[in-house]
Amino acid sequence: MNETIYLLYILSFVLGSVLGLVLSYRKYKAPYAIGKLDALAVVLAVVGWTLALNSILITFIPEYITITIGVFLLAMVLGMRPGYGRNETFIGIIVAGIIWIIRTVIL
């Protein structure tokens, strides 16, 4: 069963990366973004990293499903065209890390 779950994570990451690349090429015409934050990418990164790192907080959905959804969402941001998505990913990691630290201290 573990090999199947890891395959699911890998497929989710690959599909999210490809979809993120396609969507970012359609959305952005400039070759490189400087100083702009995409609100949708920030939301995807925060939700994705939070689901991937803190999947145990959602008790009514199996862990592997929340991790798969989280990996798909964070891969969409990581897979954006070069120069896009890096600041959004950093914000998502920070927010998910803070939630993880709070969860570890409280629980």
Angle, vertex CA 77, rays to CA 5 and CA 37, nearest 5: 155
Question: Does residue 25 have a pLDDT over 90?
Answer: no
The pTM for the full model equals: 0.88
Q: What is the pLDDT confidence band of residue 1, given thresholds at 50, 70 and 90?
A: low
Task: Specify if 7 maps to a domain.
Answer: no
**pLDDT of 33 strictly over 70:** no
User: What is the number of structural domains in the chain?
Assistant: 1
Whole-angstrom Cα distance, residue 21 to residue 96?
23
Q: How many residues does the chain have?
A: 107
Q: In the chain, helix, strand, coil percent, each to 5? A: 75, 0, 25
pLDDT at residue 87, rounded to an integer: 87
Print the domain residue range for 48.
35-107
| pLDDT tens per residue, range 76-107 | 999 888 878 888 899 999 999 999 999 888 87
